[in-house]
């Protein structure tokens, strides 16, 4: 499974690990008004199960052609419009990735897992 | 299907077929109790065999848990409202809509508790709501108000999604003043007469 995205400079190749992409996406998503926190990943991961990886995470996948696919689980604040928040997160994350790694993701899937409790 | 799920499925199938073959062999007397005893004794005497057996058992546990989680994750993904945007897909877990409805309980003082269950099918979004009422109010009026409130709130939250929303309310319990008084009296009597520790042990 590919875990990094390649980008070439004049001197050499730069490899960006999926965790870096996930971090950029996390920060960009949390900056959007109405987003409370990043939710938990739904699918099973043995490292997550054993506590070796954070369960609150954004899933990053790479296609064969190096295109990025993101899956972002979110918990939103009460009183905000979910479709609007989702689109803002998609735009925000896409812009942040373009700005920082010069690559725009092919698709960003948003999973709204819950509404802020309390 | 993901490779891990596929492996899990294959492993589980092979494991259960083997188990069935052993049970069938036992039933048909191809496998005798002595054979089982000899095998178990041989494993018990050899540390390497025991280690291998331990590793196999750990593997079976991990694969079974992962398989169950994978199936549950798939079920969880199916329980959502999904729509597409130009940048990708958005899915809203039905539990998130249930959270929203639970929060609405704070806005209705007459209702003691909300137990929402949200279902999405071809007819649209269906909210099944079981409620406990706090006071003896006009149920028809209250339920109408509740239906309107929930519908408006879901529509506001999911603006842009044109699924029809229907709210079914089931009043499960009405807590009357008498019941309240009874509970209050019971609590008060318990406070007034605290149980005496070690009472009744003497002659």
What is the rounded CA–CA span in Å between residue B141 and residue A55?
Answer: 45
- pTM metric for this prediction: 0.62
pLDDT tens sequence across A74-87: 999 988 888 899 99
CATH number of the domain at A16, please.
3.30.70.1350
ipTM field: 0.73
Q: Which residues of A touch B160 (CB under 8 A)?
A: 81, 83-84
Domains of chain B listed by start with CATH number: 3-78 (no CATH), 91-182 (3.30.70.1350)
Domain extent at residue A86: 4-115
Statement: residue A48 has pLDDT above 70: no
pLDDT tens sequence across B79-101: 788 888 888 888 888 888 888 88
B23 interface with A at CB cutoff 8 Å: no
Structure tokens at B197: 């520790």
Taking CB atoms within 8 Å and a gap of at least 24, the contacts of B61-66 are: B62/A46, B63/B7, B63/B8, B63/B11, B63/B12, B64/B12, B65/A44, B65/A49, B66/A44, B66/A46, B66/A49, B66/B4, B66/B8
CB A42 within 8 A of CB A98: no
B105 interface with A at CB cutoff 8 Å: no
Statement: residue A102 has pLDDT above 70: yes
CB–CB contact A82 B158 (8 Å): yes
Statement: residue B189 has pLDDT above 70: yes
User: How many domains does the structure of chain A reveal?
Assistant: 1
Residue A55: pLDDT band by 50, 70, 90 thresholds?
Answer: low
CB–CB contact B103 A94 (8 Å): no
Q: Which residues of B touch A76 (CB under 8 A)?
A: 96
CB–CB contact B70 A44 (8 Å): yes
């Amino acid at each position: 499974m590919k875990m990094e995205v390649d980008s070439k400079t004049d001197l050499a190749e730069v490899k960006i690990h999926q965790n870096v992409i996930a971090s950029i996406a996390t920060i960009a998503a949390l900056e959007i008004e109405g987003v409370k926190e990043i939710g938990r990943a739904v699918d099973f991961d043995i490292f997550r199960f054993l506590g070796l990886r954070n369960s609150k995470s954004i899933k990053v996948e790479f296609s064969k052609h190096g295109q990025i696919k993101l899956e972002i689980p979110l918990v939103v604040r009460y009183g905000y419009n979910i479709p609007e928040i989702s689109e803002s997160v998609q735009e925000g994350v896409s812009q942040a990735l373009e700005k920082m790694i010069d690559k725009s993701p092919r698709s960003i899937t948003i999973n709204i897992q819950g509404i802020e409790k309390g | 299907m993901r490779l891990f799920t596929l492996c899990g499925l294959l492993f589980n199938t092979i494991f259960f077929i083997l188990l069935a073959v052993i049970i069938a062999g036992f039933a048909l007397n191809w496998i005798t109790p002595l054979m089982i005893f000899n095998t178990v004794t041989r494993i018990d005497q050899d540390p390497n065999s025991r280690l291998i057996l331990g590793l196999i058992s750990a593997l079976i546990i991990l694969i079974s848990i992962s398989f169950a989680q994978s199936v549950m994750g798939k079920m969880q993904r199916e329980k959502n409202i999904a729509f597409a945007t130009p940048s990708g897909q958005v899915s809203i877990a039905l539990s998130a809509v249930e959270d929203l409805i639970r929060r609405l309980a704070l806005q209705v003082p007459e209702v003691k508790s909300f137990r929402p269950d949200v279902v999405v099918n071809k007819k649209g979004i269906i909210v099944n709501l079981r409620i406990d009422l706090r006071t003896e109010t006009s149920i028809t009026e209250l339920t109408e108000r509740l239906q309107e409130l929930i519908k408006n709130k879901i529509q506001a939250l999911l603006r842009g999604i044109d699924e029809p929303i229907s709210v079914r309310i089931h009043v499960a319990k009405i807590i009357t003043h008498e019941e309240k008084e009874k509970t209050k009296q019971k609590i008060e009597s318990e406070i007034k007469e605290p149980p005496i520790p070690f009472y009744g042990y003497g002659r």
